[in-house]
Amino acid sequence: MSIGLQTTAWIIAGIFALIIVLTVLVPRIIGAEPFTVVSGSMEPTIPTGSVVVSKHVNPDTVAFRDVVTYQLNSGEPLTVTHRVVGVDNIDGQTRFKTQGDANTSPDPESVRPEQIRGVVSYHVPFVGYLGQLVPMGARESLATGLGIALIAYAVIVRFRSFLERKTHSADTGRSDEKSQSKRGRH
């Protein structure tokens, strides 16, 4: 394999490895969950197609200006990621008023604490488009498989490199022996 092709393969593998680390491994470590942004309501802060990583928090710690991911309807999978623009106490119950950064007005419904899935820790732009190509239930398996494939690829490349160096040094040693034996005959 040519050096240019090998370098390109390593760069692509490194990018995919970084994506997997940022969207699968880190969220697990920090107690967070990745979500894909499918609308432009948070642009330019969070572009459409980004993956946001929302850290699970106690809803009592959610504050004004936090960007939160919440369920549209409690217990259902559909989520929205918007900024908290107000925290109200209605009849002893906390309610969060949210609004997308690109929207001109707040969301019509207040968010109850049990709807909060987390506060956004960071986002990875455009990676969500890749995730949309894979069915929701297969994403974790695919990420694990890709991770194993990348590790296997790295091991194979390192092993081949080791063998090539060993063969090269053995060939160099033989040519040195031939040169010395030819010099010894004179």
* pLDDT tens readout for residues 36-78: 999 999 999 999 999 999 999 999 999 999 999 999 998 888 9
Provide the pLDDT for residue 114. Answer: 95
Provide the pLDDT for residue 137. Answer: 66
Query: How far separated are the first and last CA of the chain, in Å rounded?
Result: 42
Do 50 and 118 fall within a single domain? yes
Per the domain annotation, does 22 fall within a domain? Answer: yes
Rounded Cα gap, residues 177 and 155, in angstroms: 33
Per the domain annotation, does 69 fall within a domain? Answer: yes
Do 79 and 24 fall within a single domain? no
Number of structural domains, the chain?
A: 2
Residues in the chain: 186
Do 117 and 38 fall within a single domain? yes
Do 120 and 142 fall within a single domain? no
Per the domain annotation, does 84 fall within a domain? Answer: yes
State which residues of the chain have pLDDT below 50.
none
Quickly list H helices, the chain.
3-20, 26-30, 127-132, 139-184
Do 62 and 143 fall within a single domain? no
Q: What is the DSSP letter of 113?
A: G
CATH number of the structural domain spanning residue 118: 2.10.109.10
Provide the pLDDT for residue 95. Answer: 95
138 C-beta neighbours (distance < 10 Å), count? 10
Q: What is the pTM of this model?
A: 0.71
Provide the pLDDT for residue 16. Answer: 80
Residue 22 corresponds to which tokens in the numbers above? 């940022």
Which residue is listed with tokens 């900024």? 83
75: containing domain:
33-127
Do 142 and 91 fall within a single domain? no
Phi, psi of 183 (to 5 degrees): -70, -30
Crossing angle for the helix pair 139-184 and 3-20, to the nearest 10 degrees = 150
Per the domain annotation, does 20 fall within a domain? Answer: yes
Do 93 and 148 fall within a single domain? no
CB 23 within 8 A of CB 34: yes
Per the domain annotation, does 10 fall within a domain? Answer: yes
